[in-house]
């Protein structure tokens, strides 16, 4: 898989501190370039944990699925809501499937 940034969507979040994608990557793989937009230090070291994808407040980061999973270019984009994340599978510029994941916060409420 692979992480991609949509530079035009990035709002350079958290201007008083480290941006969320850079702050939460466990491998310290993301940095902001001279335009304050995210870049990967080394794609080969990314293990697709998707922490950066979920941390971005404006869905400016997505995961590209490999050809072994999808025969044509497909991406997974999270849309965060208060108690859940809706993952959308986009293929050929169309949303093909949606997966709803209840967040831990909501699971705790039902205990």
Residue 87 binding ligand SF4, by CB under 6 A? no
Residue 49 binding ligand SF4, by CB under 6 A? yes
CA–CA distances in Å: residue 19 to residues 30, 58, 72, 81, 87? 10, 12, 32, 20, 22
Which of 50, 109 has the CB closer to ligand SF4? Answer: 50
Residue 46 binding ligand SF4, by CB under 6 A? yes
**DSSP line for 33-68:** -TTS-EEES-GGG-----HHHHH-TT--EEEEEPTT
Residue 76 binding ligand SF4, by CB under 6 A? no
Q: Which residues bind ligand SF4 (CB under 6 A)?
A: 3, 5, 10-13, 19-21, 25-27, 29-30, 38, 46-52, 55-58, 60-61
């Amino acid at each position: 898989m692979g992480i991609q940034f949509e530079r035009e969507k990035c709002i350079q979040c958290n201007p008083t501190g480290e941006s969320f994608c850079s702050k939460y990557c466990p491998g310290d793989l993301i940095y902001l370039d001279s335009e304050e937009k995210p870049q990967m230090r080394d794609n080969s070291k990314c293990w697709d944990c998707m922490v950066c994808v979920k941390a971005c407040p404006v869905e400016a980061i997505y995961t590209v699925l490999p050809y072994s999973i999808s025969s044509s270019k497909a991406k997974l984009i999270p849309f965060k809501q208060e108690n859940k994340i809706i993952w959308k599978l986009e293929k050929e510029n169309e949303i093909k499937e949606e997966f709803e994941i209840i967040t831990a916060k909501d699971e705790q409420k039902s205990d």
